[in-house]
Structure 1
Amino acid sequence: MSWLSDDDDDPEGFDAWDESDVRVRPNPKGNRPRSKIRPSHVDAVEARVLSVDRGRYTVLVEADSPDERTVLATRARELRDQAIVTGDRVDLVGDASGEVGTLARIVRIRPRTTLLRRSADDTDAVERVIVANADQLMIVVAAANPEPRPRLVDRYLVAAYDAGIQPLMVITKTDLADPGPFLANFTALDIPVIRSAQGRWPLDELAPLLDGRTTVAVGHSGVGKSTLVNALVPGTDRATGVVNAVTGRGRHTSSSTVSLRVPTGGWIIDTPGVRSFGLGHVDPANILRGFPDLAAVAEDCPRGCTHLPDAPDCALAEAVERGELDAARVDSLQRLLASLGPDASR
């Protein structure tokens, strides 16, 4: 039976109620609506990311001061969709004392000057950021055991030119083979080259090139890259390996990217050895900018010119025919552009 009949004309009855008569249940937790306004963190301190390990970041606070210290940090929730990599300059809040058991929080990534990137393969346009804020790429290649791979070095060079980073080459194990034929591929590029034999590192020659720079070391597994890093930064003990006598391939040893201070000056960032280096993300125009003398001539090329050997009316090819450009240098540029794939330079 209904508690209110159709004949009920009580003016204080159901029909006289409105929404304001309904008691609103209070928020039991007393939480205020979530705001999109984020704190400014004006008290944050600047730090340099030295290494990344499973969501934890080892950072350096107050570098080159009496209060310099390493701090363990995590990332703030608002940065969950942004990659934080070795070499990044970041802002910290929370406990930045560096004491055991403490954990600071990264709340900002400062603007980056450079980004060294790679993709999974040439069909993948998604970039993987390897290192931030480096200004030099040290390509480590063995003269033998494992055999040098010119095309892999081409890819390192493409990544360097794309990032606006200066390349440097170190040839190891020169006592096992003459690196001359391999280096002939790169003579037109004016890249500094340091040679070393097994167990004899030319540190006096290499140190001035690293001083005042942030240098990323890359190389095929087994070429001696981490051994060189250990020699440059004594006590580092980066993992090293050997080359398989059957396959001629190096074994992956270093599994993380770590930034280390070189006692003679500068920073070196050791990266895991790789056997491939995808360039699907690279803009070919950035490669040409790495050759300013050729870029000036290429301004006279037809629109959409690939600058490859089969490109019609290419100003670079015409300048070579007239003897105005070094053919070897143009060939080096064409080889680097060709390494991006048949469609990448269009």
Structure 2
Amino acid sequence: MARRVRDEHARYARPSKHGSRPRSKQRPEHADSVAGLIVGVDRGRYTLVLDEGGPDEREILAMKARELSRTRAVVGDVVDVVGDTSGREGTLARIVRITERTSVLRRTADDNDPYERIVVANADQLVVVVALAQPEPRTGMIDRCVVAAYDAGMDVLLCLTKADLSSPDELRDLYTPLGVEVVVARRDAADTVEAVREHLLGRTSVLVGHSGVGKSTLINALVPDAARATGVVNDVTGRGRHTSTSAVALRLPVSAGSTGGTHDGWVIDTPGVRSFGLAHVEVAHLLAAFEDLDEVAAQCPRGCTHLADAPDCALDEWVDGAPDEVSRTTRASRLTSFRRLLVSRTATV
């Protein structure tokens, strides 16, 4: 008779219906665990980088321990792993802990969906990739990405592609008042990649955008060995085809003038999206991203929506009370931009 192999998690599992042994609340400390960064997820298997930047840096494959079966682990998470962490072919380590996240970029399928989908963890910059033509830009989608980034405490970079087909001036003027940095990418322009790269150095940046906007093409230019699949835009629908099927973190190669290090940052490619639900975003979180408006809004009456039709909104008084015409124009532009984002939480895109 074959010898029964004991499952080390069995004593932590909930007792069966007919069992009498109480469930133990004790958990192993896993003092021998090592930290790793999740750079890819594929059907329940996680690709991790261990000892990042160190002499023993290596990639390993891991799965979640049973006690984490209901906990979502995503690209960007820093986790503790045990087991065989050598990285040799055929080995599989086990994720036993997910460390506290510094940021979480979330979205929902729509504004009525209570289920939050975590896009990535621990990124500090959201790069919204938008084509100026083929397909045409959709400001509603951009607004929603900006709202989600501000809710997560992330900076926002608007990367405008295909600038040789249309002028970027209108979109630049629309988002500059929001504090969004804008970089323009032109096809076959030698300085385009470097212009984008400067905004990514030393950061963990996640790229999002509709299919067909040139996101994968841009990543292949930034990370030459990424080999991300690229697609084309349908001439009838004006929409692109999904070429990225899962999020993946890629090292930004060290530039010629860089001093030390194995890479200059991380870029996270994500699948193309057609919607960005914001059911999880609260008005207070969005307002907090605008420190000047947040301070003024404290004087608003209780229950104020801060929208254009809100009675006695202190934000309107703030604009009217500007000391000069220049300041009034600046404040009005800032308030209009904020209200546009506020409306985008429930608008259809």
Q: TM-score range by the shorter chain?
A: 0.7 to 0.9
1:111 to 66, 76, 100: 100
Give the distance between the partners of 2:296 and 2:119, measured in 1 at CA. 33
One-letter amino acid of the structure 1 residue matched with residue 43 of structure 2: R
1:178 to 155, 167, 173: 167
Give the distance between the partners of 1:110 and 1:190, measured in 2 at CA. 30
Give the distance between the partners of 1:263 and 1:213, measured in 2 at CA. 12
Question: How far does residue 95 in structure 1 lie from its aligned partner after superposition?
Answer: 0.2
Q: Does 1:337 align with 2:319?
A: no
Greater CA drift, 205-214 or 121-130: 205-214
Q: Deviations over 1:95-132 (max 9, x none)?
A: 00000000000000000000000011100122111100
Give the distance between the partners of 1:190 and 1:36, measured in 2 at CA. 48
2:116 to 127, 152, 170: 127
Please report the TM-score for the alignment, with normalisation by the length of structure 2: 0.87
Q: Deviations over 1:206-253 (max 9, x none)?
A: 222211110000111100011111111111111111100111111111
Count of residue pairs the alignment pairs up: 313
Contact 2:185–2:193 (8 Å) recurs in 1 = no
Please report the TM-score for the alignment, with normalisation by the length of structure 1: 0.88
Match of 1:286 in 2: 285
Match of 2:240 in 1: 250
Equivalent residue runs for 1:4-19 within 5 Å: none
Match of 2:143 in 1: 154
Equivalent residue runs for 1:1-346 within 5 Å: 33=21, 35-200=24-189, 202-264=192-254, 265-323=264-322, 326-341=331-346
One-letter amino acid of the structure 1 residue matched with residue 285 of structure 2: N
One-letter amino acid of the structure 2 residue matched with residue 52 of structure 1: V
Contact 1:57–1:74 (8 Å) recurs in 2 = yes
Give the distance between the partners of 2:169 and 2:199, measured in 1 at CA. 22
Match of 2:260 in 1: none
Give the distance between the partners of 1:69 and 1:133, measured in 2 at CA. 20
Q: Deviations over 1:268-299 (max 9, x none)?
A: 00000111101111111111111111111111
Contact 2:39–2:249 (8 Å) recurs in 1 = yes
SS for the counterpart of 2:199 is helix
Question: How far does residue 54 in structure 1 lie from its aligned partner after superposition?
Answer: 0.5
Give the distance between the partners of 1:90 and 1:303, measured in 2 at CA. 42
Give the distance between the partners of 1:272 and 1:282, measured in 2 at CA. 22
Give the distance between the partners of 2:103 and 2:121, measured in 1 at CA. 6
Contact 1:150–1:185 (8 Å) recurs in 2 = no
Question: How far does residue 203 in structure 1 lie from its aligned partner after superposition?
Answer: 2.2
Contact 2:108–2:116 (8 Å) recurs in 1 = yes
Match of 2:15 in 1: none
Question: How far does residue 256 in structure 1 lie from its aligned partner after superposition?
Answer: 0.8
Contact 1:171–1:196 (8 Å) recurs in 2 = yes
Q: Deviations over 1:137-191 (max 9, x none)?
A: 0111111000000000000000001000000111000000112223332131132
Give the distance between the partners of 1:271 and 1:214, measured in 2 at CA. 13
Give the distance between the partners of 2:341 and 2:163, measured in 1 at CA. 25
Give the distance between the partners of 1:213 and 1:64, measured in 2 at CA. 15
**Percentage of matched positions with identical amino acids:** 57
One-letter amino acid of the structure 2 residue matched with residue 307 of structure 1: H
Give the distance between the partners of 1:335 and 1:284, measured in 2 at CA. 13
One-letter amino acid of the structure 1 residue matched with residue 84 of structure 2: D
Q: Which runs of 5+ in 2 are unaligned?
A: 1-5, 12-20, 255-263
Give the distance between the partners of 1:252 and 1:118, measured in 2 at CA. 18
Q: Deviations over 1:293-327 (max 9, x none)?
A: 11111111111211100011111111112236511
One-letter amino acid of the structure 2 residue matched with residue 289 of structure 1: A
Greater CA drift, 207-216 or 32-41: 32-41
